[in-house]
Chain A
């Protein structure tokens, strides 16, 4: 337990219902005893939004609020009615379980939105799989699922089909958030606010994979996820955008504009946004600059050493992004004008990416080039103050 809890805690944001509250309001869960009580809020959420049953049809555990006279180990543990100690907590509004580090670290939510054939799921699989396995070697940090539910879901929905069986994953039918935890190993606590190029040593990431169909089916969650998002990843099919007969009447751009305007009104999204242009190698854009930007994004090392310090090369990627934007301005002006009207220029970065995976006719899929996917996610981490980056001002 930290010496001064006040300085090292954050408000909790529930990944399921987006309610924000302090650690004192979280409920504790007694898994050793079962309750006859039914929690309609949770049952409804699980059934309607996640397509699952609470507790898999078993009896639910007892939820309780910490008693005022309970002196058990600060705000992250409580004594149960039976004198036991529990550290498992749940949301007081929707009764879903909170990640273990909720309230201890900064929560960020990231919405991944994209058009139907833009390889959105492949992007998530590639980026998170790479981050899962390479962050320790690159930065001495980890980026792993924060709970068993996410680990199982990510493995069964994305990793196992693509990296194990080489098959195309099935389409998402629920809007289950994936909760990942970023941890800087061996970092001093509390957070290093000064004298460092990073703002947070640890963070929770709630990742929402949202497409048009899921927005239509679960509008409340999808709109709130986008509205609350600390960062956004927009995936567009570059090949489709480039080939559109009349880009002004592009359905996807219209839908994107409508959705963003519904949520933010006339104000541009001012938080970090990575615009990933998938299938950029398949796009019919005969421009040397486009090919050069694509080549550079793929071949750029994701870790560079500046004064013996490992940093993310933000400056280099900003250069490639500017190159890409200038090509888009010349070749697909309708697309870039929509993006520039919806996202603030200074917090938006373009990542042209070759096809992430190639699906064969026999149902198998071949992993191609995940470098751009990984780079875009790492740029977001740098932008949110979790990874040191080359354009940061060292205090």
Chain B
């Protein structure tokens, strides 16, 4: 538990040596250029960049660092204490239960209008309101420091009604905790939407998607109508486009030691013909997926839809279970 992963930039921080703290709110506010630059790079221009300063054990303000309940607390020379940890790279907050064994992240990729954001909203909404009743072991708690649960639910409702949702410029995080009497570890499931990120070349992929190298799942969203068109097409255009997207995804983790799993989510499956799309159809329409799947640690296909259905199971819940167990 002596490490935490920043869910924004993906950096793993050793708390013993690299812990950085945000000073208590009553300290003078200063311009935090690192935080502002990182947020602006993700298109967030309305953030507050005047924040209490940062502090670490070598800073003049620091008197000592104590460990309470397994996490460090910094005591300032004025006797104030802070336990707000921040990432040394991007100065974003480090949340609880994000040690290397607890945090699980999934990156949602796909062409424009392929339903990535709607799918993330549907997953988050099911966590907030539905609690995935099929899995009784866990309670799902939405991290409201990132998004307001009410706003998220409302946005998900709009998306399921067919409206285009707003991009999620911050990751969405859901805590998965066992019921109190069962004890055990809590998990933090992180969902990254990359709709808004401009990934024109390898440099921009590595710069804009630093969190992707440590992601365990890459969810590739293919709309059901694209699949249907590709099955009936007489050229390889759709397959070539898929291959291009796949290479973009692969370049994000090409340098990392552990390859992620590839999850193909056939979105807007409510629009598909009866029976829903099958795994074989995906491989037939896009042979590149089979060819390139060996660079991932595994491949699964899920037909999903942001539209709630009364019958036929909960495909969104099945995707969540497939991603995070």
Contacts and interface: CB of A to CB of B under 8 A. Distances in A.
A151 B246 CA distance: 10
B18 A155 contact: no
A73 B237 CA distance: 41
A132 B287 CA distance: 11
Contact of A152 (B88, B237, B247): B247
Contacts of B9: 32
Nearest to A135: B291
B203 interface: yes
A164 B235 CA distance: 6
A144 B292 contact: yes
B255 interface: yes
B291 A56 contact: no
Interface stretch (A81-89, A288-296, A297-305): A81-89
B179 interface: no
A142 interface: yes
B210 A83 contact: no
A61 interface: yes
A84 B13 CA distance: 8
A132 B88 contact: no
B288 interface: yes
23 contacts: A29-B206, A31-B210, A32-B9, A32-B207, A33-B89, A82-B88, A82-B89, A87-B257, A97-B202, A97-B203, A100-B255, A132-B291, A136-B291, A144-B291, A147-B202, A148-B250, A149-B202, A151-B247, A152-B244, A155-B243, A160-B237, A164-B241, A166-B235
A165 interface: yes
Interface in A46-99: 55-56, 58, 61, 73, 82-88, 97
Given A147-B202, A165-B235, 8 more contacts: A32-B89, A82-B88, A83-B13, A142-B294, A144-B292, A148-B250, A148-B251, A159-B240
Nearest to B247: A151
A58 B204 contact: yes
Given A31-B210, A56-B200, A58-B207, A87 B235 contact: no
Interface string A129-155: 000110010000010110111011001
B201 interface: yes
Interface string B205-247: 1110010000000000000000000000001110011011001
B307 interface: no
Contacts of A185: 294
Contacts of B202: 97, 147-149
A148 B207 contact: no
B9 to A, nearest CB: 6
B59 to A, nearest CB: 16
Interface in A185-237: 185
Contacts of B137: none
A21 interface: no
Interface of A: 1, 29, 31-33, 55-56, 58, 61, 73, 82-88, 97, 100, 132-133, 136, 142, 144-145, 147-149, 151-152, 155, 159-160, 163-166, 185
A194 B247 CA distance: 34
A148 B243 CA distance: 11
Given A31-B210, A136-B291, A164-B237, A58 B255 contact: no
Given A100-B255, A151-B247, A152-B247, A84 B291 contact: no
Contacts of B297: none
A143 to B, nearest CB: 10
Contacts of B42: none
A87 B256 contact: yes
Contacts of B251: 147-148, 151
Given A88-B255, A148-B201, A185-B294, A163 B89 contact: no
A29 B290 CA distance: 32
Given A133-B287, A142-B291, A148-B202, A155 B240 contact: yes
A164 B244 CA distance: 13
Would you call the interface of chain B mostly helix, strand, loop, or mixed? helix
B204 A56 contact: yes
Contacts of B235: 163-166
User: Which interface class (under 10, 10 to 19, 20 to 34, 35 or more) fits B?
Assistant: 35 or more
B254 interface: yes
Please provide the 8 A-B residue pairs with the shortest distance between their CB atoms, ordered closest to farther: A164-B237, A151-B247, A148-B251, A87-B255, A148-B202, A100-B254, A31-B206, A163-B236
A58 B199 CA distance: 13
A263 B243 CA distance: 38
B248 interface: yes
A149 B250 CA distance: 12
A330 to B, nearest CB: 41
Contacts of A147: 202, 251, 254
Nearest to A87: B255
A133 B288 contact: yes
Interface in B281-323: 287-288, 290-292, 294-295
Contact of B88 (A73, A83, A133, A145): A83
B11 interface: yes
A148 B205 contact: yes
A164 B291 contact: no
A73 B244 CA distance: 31
Contact of A163 (B237, B254, B256, B257): B237
Contacts of A151: 243-244, 247-248, 251
A324 B292 CA distance: 37
Interface string B242-271: 011001101100111100000000000000
Interface in B1-54: 9, 11-13, 17-18
Contacts of B248: 148, 151
Contacts of B290: 136
B177 to A, nearest CB: 30
Contact of A148 (B17, B247, B292): B247
A84 B89 contact: yes
A58 B207 CA distance: 10
Contact of A165 (B237, B243, B244): B237
